[in-house]
Structure 1
Amino acid sequence: MRHAFRTTLLAAALGFAAIGAAQAQSQPRLVIGFAAGGPTDLVARAFAEHLGRATGQTVIVENRPGANALLATEAVAAARPDGQTLLAAATNHTMIPALYAGRMKFDPVKSFRPICTIASSPTVLVVGPGLPVKTLPEFLERVRSKPGGASYGTPGQGSSPHLATEAFRKLTGLSLVHVPYKGAAPAITDLLGGQIDFSMATAGSVLPHLKSGKLHALAVASRERSSLLPNVPTFEEAGLKGFVVDTWYGVLAPAGVPAETVASLERQAVAFAKSPAVRDRLQAVGMEPASLCGDTFAQQIATEIVANTQLAQQLGLKAD
């Protein structure tokens, strides 16, 4: 009797259906469109651990890097809408329609049921040993005098850091060379090694290196200074007006997931964001908990898709 009650409770908590023999063949999984070690991966693994503790089931984390998360997004869009397969998405999700319109096998809005955001992170301009400057004005002067243009790394063509850097380039008139990677972690590795000059990175991908002094932050792209980087000026304070970029991380399910499953997932996402232990863990890697859920989250995604598609067209951005 106790075993039957516990099994029912687990199924209700996340909607992980097909108990018994079917469960033995399939485990819940959280799919990530970037390489291990980057900010999306870090927050997704923390959330997967939270879900595992809440349900007593191991949530498998599956990295499917490539094409600015297009491959991972396709996989989740095609999954059964039973709550077993979820997508760990980030702001770059809203760039996919602008970059891959001819290659998408899904609708970025209609193919998914947004659950909640679970974290956010400020975007920060960081330089490595290849570009030893200390302020934004020094950076601008140095890059303008650099033959061939300074190089910058991003998690991929059309990723949110790529879009942010292209907007920055348009605003400043700089000559820049884009070097795309399959995730934030390999881009930061090359930045540390001096293979690229700078990155418009999320704080979550660079905070440990900023604390160690291996990388240097010049400005943060938020309206106010970040509590994570209180000594780093905003772009406005550093002399560049109108440059604000927000980055979110969230969980999406395939469209058609039962309402009770969505409600359970939302409750888990909110509980995740409210946990003091989670807040400490996220802040340690440059993130803050967030829990924008349901229709409000869905509307934000739809709005960002329209805005980012227009911006990508203005900047001439498209996937290789």
Structure 2
Amino acid sequence: MLGKPTLSAIGAIVAATAAAAQTSPPYPQQPVKLVVGFAAGGPSDLVARVFADQAAKSLSQTVIVENKPGANAVLATEAVAAAKPDGLTLLAAATNHTMIPALYTGRIKFDAAKSFVPVCTLASSATVLVVGPSMPVKTVGEFLDRVKARPDTATYATPGQGSSPHLATEQFRKLAGLSMIHVPYKGAAPAVTDLIGGQVDLSFATVGSVLPHIKSGKLTALAVASRQRSALLPQVPTFEEVGIKGFVIDTWYGLLAPAGTPVEALRVLTREANDFARSPAVRERLAGAGLEPQGVCGEPFVAQIAREIDANTRIARELNLKTE
């Protein structure tokens, strides 16, 4: 029969464990891979590459960006969810991650919340309501008066059925009590082109996708769906300021790790994300694309993702949206 361990034996075990922890190699000992669910050149890709450049210098380790486009980032998300949870394969995610459960019900090989550990957001882009020449208004108040006086005549452009701007517009429409016509396009570029040309009246878009057209006067920005004004459009009020409460639709870009990733790896990645968000050089590089650095980490990021999944799922059900 074995006796109880003595205090000296327990002390030896604790000391050995502590020594092993102190001698374990620091993270990362191998190259880190950031998987992007979209083609090179877009905002998700840009944020991932700027982060990879900075993190590689700080960690003295190679950080690789791998583009794996397809199915609204589902292919990339599945690949990272199935990866070994060692902190060496990460998902460069974006707001669309929280729409996947709503649009691909029962057809994905991961759980958007449980299969990942949200590390931090890295950047954000405010969502802005813009109108073209066919909607001659200058303020949200004028816009609401005009649309309410002509129900089911104002047309709004989106990059497609079930896209982030589509869900954002539906949220706004319900909050403001509006009745408008949806005109879906195959991408943001043709939607903006027709908006400038007057074929459609309005659109919710990321600041980066329409900033040059706002500056040139081709489009008019009425309000941003953020908690505070965008540094890139400081003259444009928030919806909160103009009386539409609770309408916050920022587009975020951030890091997700596979569930089970070691705490030490998460700690290092969080430190790198915070350094990224505070860097003046990063701010300058992102500003050209209409992006701003942002560092929401840990539990607040977890809670944000949960809220967005719930909201998007509810809206998709109400609209009977599904993606084939």
TM-score band, normalised by shorter chain: 0.7 to 0.9
Contact 2:128–2:204 (8 Å) recurs in 1: yes
Cα distance between partner residues in 1 of 2:285 and 2:242: 30
Matched, 1:270 2:240: no
TM-score normalised over the length of structure 1? 0.78
Cα distance between partner residues in 1 of 2:163 and 2:150: 27
Partner of 2:100 in structure 1? Answer: 96
Partner of 2:181 in structure 1? Answer: 176
Give the aligned CA root-mean-square deviation in angstroms: 3.1
Partner of 1:24 in structure 2? Answer: none
Cα distance between partner residues in 2 of 1:244 and 1:308: 13
1:148-207 deviations in Å (ceiling 9; x for gaps): 6514123x543432211111233332222242545x566546655666543211223332
Cα distance between partner residues in 2 of 1:178 and 1:35: 25
1:9-29 deviations in Å (ceiling 9; x for gaps): xx845x253xxxxxxxxx643
Choose which of 99, 122, 125 in structure 1 pairs with 2:129: 125
User: Against the structure 1 CA distance between its residues 209 and 29, is the aligned structure 2 distance closer, same or farther, given a 3 Å change threshold?
Assistant: farther
Contact 1:96–1:158 (8 Å) recurs in 2: no
Cα distance between partner residues in 1 of 2:186 and 2:271: 35
User: Against the structure 1 CA distance between its residues 68 and 193, is the aligned structure 2 distance closer, same or farther, given a 3 Å change threshold?
Assistant: farther
Give runs of aligned pairs for residues 11-90 of structure 1, distance below 5 A: 12-13=26-27, 15-17=28-30, 28-90=32-94
Cα distance between partner residues in 1 of 2:29 and 2:98: 27
SS of match in other structure, 2:126: strand
Cα distance between partner residues in 1 of 2:91 and 2:43: 15
User: Against the structure 1 CA distance between its residues 189 and 53, is the aligned structure 2 distance closer, same or farther, given a 3 Å change threshold?
Assistant: farther
Cα distance between partner residues in 2 of 1:289 and 1:298: 18
User: Against the structure 1 CA distance between its residues 190 and 113, is the aligned structure 2 distance closer, same or farther, given a 3 Å change threshold?
Assistant: farther
Contact 1:123–1:202 (8 Å) recurs in 2: yes
Give runs of aligned pairs for residues 153-302 of structure 1, distance below 5 A: 153-154=158-159, 156-171=160-175, 172-181=177-186, 184=188, 187-188=191-192, 191=195, 197-238=201-242, 240-302=244-306
1:34-77 deviations in Å (ceiling 9; x for gaps): 34443333322221221233244553333334433222212221
Contact 2:152–2:181 (8 Å) recurs in 1: no
Gapped regions of structure 1 (runs ≥ 5)? 1-10, 18-26
